[in-house]
Structure 1
Amino acid sequence: MLFDLELISVGKTYPDGTVAVSDFDLKVEKGEFVAFLGPSGCGKSTTLRMIAGFEDITNGEILIKGANVSHVPPEHRPTSMIFQNYALFPHMTVRQNIAFGLDVKRMDRVEKNRKVDRILDMFDLTEFADRTADRLSGGQRQRIALARGLVVEPEILLLDEPLGALDANLRRIIQNELKLLQRDLGITFVFVTHAQSEALGLSDRVVVMSNGVVEQISAPEELYNRPATPFVAEFIGSNTIIEGKPAQSGDDGLQRIETPYGLISGVGKAGSDKAVIPAEAFNLGLRDTPNEIRLDGVVTAKQLVGSIGYIRVKLGDGREVEVETHAGSAEAQNLLPGSSVTLGVDPASVTLIHH
């Protein structure tokens, strides 16, 4: 199968010996929306820059539609990159900014104008075509940056935290537009972000990175519900991680570990020694499900925010766990700090991992 983008053991080591990215493997199909997610300094932007050609690779290969572009200059790669600061020319008009990439390609003037007019219309920018970029809002500048990246008709659009400078409301609006645009055009998007909600909400697959290493590559739902490593379990969502020792599996298809809170069953591989319990998997009471996990404790804090109730519970050994529940439930309404509570957990919602 021919992939739009393939990274084969791609790595980047700086002259002082610092490893920025280590043996990155990835295969991206045509039209996929892939997000690179991780904390600052994890190597996600460096990887994006290597794909674009702005950063040399130390080892490995980068293939685009089967062609090795590992040492091809950026301007000769079928990619287009959008930066967080948009990198617009402030005193050029909107039309001139969008046409810049076509000018570099020395495109015929009639063809260039046709392409620019079409994309101005697509992004609702026609009325601003003759204004300079420094006279427009953040949302308008973001649209110009997207239009400039897409007008050259790249095989792959690379986006390096392009929404980071927008306020929360505008960010949500542009997120929706971005996903619809990507679906309509069918272009492969590779998107770098440090915002979990952005990665989980926009992408078809998420690559989680830590210290230059890929921790997990999964669809958003799987990533959230079935973390593969302790780092992902701590980084994504709000999870309680309980350590234990591997125990004999049962005949229900679940694995088990022995913990200070008793035997805990969950979905995972044999030899696992950690149980990952999402905050929303805790029930404020037992449900009598098979092998239900039971944890007794005392409520230490409660906060109701909109439809979600956030409750902290201190277990018998002094450990506190986070519980998320529906704010309108009777349990959430009636529990107060100091109340005794029994938390029930369905083993099917627990993921067992190895450290």
Structure 2
Amino acid sequence: MKHSSLPRRRLAMRLTCAALALLPLGAFAQSDYPNKPVRIVVPYPAGGLTDTLARQIADGLSKRLGQPVVVENKGGAGGIIGTDFVAKSPADGYTLLMTIPGPLTANLALYKKLPYDPRTELRPISDVALARTVLAVNSAVPAKTVNELIAYAKKEPGKLRMGSWGPGSQPHTFQAYMDKTYGVDIMHVPYRGEGPMVTDLLAGQVNMTVGSVTTLRQHMATGKLRPLAVAGSTRARALPDVPTFAEAGYSDAAYKIVGPITLAAPAKTPEAIVERLGRETASLIKTPEMQARIDEMGAEPIGSTPAEAERAYKAYLPVILKLTADTGVTLD
């Protein structure tokens, strides 16, 4: 009996091995994902809204995933360096991207030789929050409204210096749009991120910007900066007394665009991993604690699913590409 059962055992083992060999190579990795630390790459230096939000999300996800989730800043080139790094990383769910819209949208119109294609090399996991931005000036600028700012720009060509967190960012496109539309001369001064830009804005090296409500709000409260108008079709919840551009008399489509901060992954990341990350991220954002934190940052929580984020991206992309192209800004 022992001898007769031995061939059967060997046959069963061979059949089992053959069956396992037919499984997708990623099946084993997906079943125990994650089994090592996950990193979220922020394509900007530390200190801005994207970085602050990424660290909050990383902390919450680490508890939900049972593995450390760390934030790594890879700033430079208007978000291109960090975004390209993630796009070219292994599609295994261990390297993710947290970014504002620019690297996923406007860069397609700004650069003829972008080293990655966000439409084919990246996929959204979740739109985390709506990043609200505000046009603000250094307190030394004698303008309290958008009208007064444009009048000052016409009267004093070259006196206004628009700080941005990089070429092709929202402040840069606003500067180019204002120059072209109103016939003014505002100098664009790019930085490697919002944090360094705000330091010079407070010191007067640059004297105006369109920056995140999160970063600028504290300096508005002290009177060092003066808010003039918020971008978007509604007032920002964190700045209820500041009018929208439309309320200030400027209803141009360029001033109504607001975009999400998005968590994304390399495009070929297995569906099961993307769905898991999307589900955990959305659940985290919908907790009262995280909602309150995002509100405190001056942003507005979203927490969408991967499918919802993908639909939003496809709807948002052509609008941004047209507006960016209309400014005439190109960077290569």
**TM exceeding 0.5:** no
Higher helix share: 2
Higher strand share: 1
Structure with the bigger RCO (C-alpha within 8 Å, sep 6+) is 2
Normalising to structure 2: TM-score of the pair? 0.23
Normalising to structure 1: TM-score of the pair? 0.22
